[in-house]
Amino acid sequence: MARSLGSPDVTIIGADVTKLQDTKRFVDETVNHFGRLDHLVNNAGVIGVPILIEDFPNFTKYTSIMETNFWGAAYGTLYAIPHLKNSKGRIIVVAS
């Protein structure tokens, strides 16, 4: 779709943002393909059953949500920062 809208070059990289090695790989593959990284968009997220924090019976039930929603953004950012500093790029976080 990006190509049909006029993007001259597109690459698709599948990754699991909860895995540190996957986030390093997608940043490295992006930089290897394009020669630089201008922006990082942290947009991965999963939803659980809404519950008030004071009603949490067991925090460990929500570990997978935190791995994706929090650590997924942190891991990608960790590997992207050196490249973003070089390009004076930006980090965009989509969260709710």
Structural domains of the chain ordered from first start: 3-93 (3.40.50.720)
Q: Would you state the pLDDT for residue 76? A: 93
Q: Would you state the pLDDT for residue 19? A: 94
Phi-psi group of 90: left, alpha or beta (phi > 0 → left; psi -120 to 50 → alpha; rest → beta): beta
Low-confidence ranges of the chain (pLDDT < 50): none
Q: Would you state the pLDDT for residue 50? A: 74
Q: Would you state the pLDDT for residue 96? A: 66
Among 4, 20, 3, 67, residue whose Cα is nearest residue 12: 3
Q: Would you state the pLDDT for residue 65? A: 85
Q: Would you state the pLDDT for residue 14? A: 94
Q: Would you state the pLDDT for residue 78? A: 96
Phi, psi for 89 (deg, rounded to 5): -80, -175
CB neighbourhood size of 72 (10 A): 23
Phi, psi for 9 (deg, rounded to 5): -155, 130
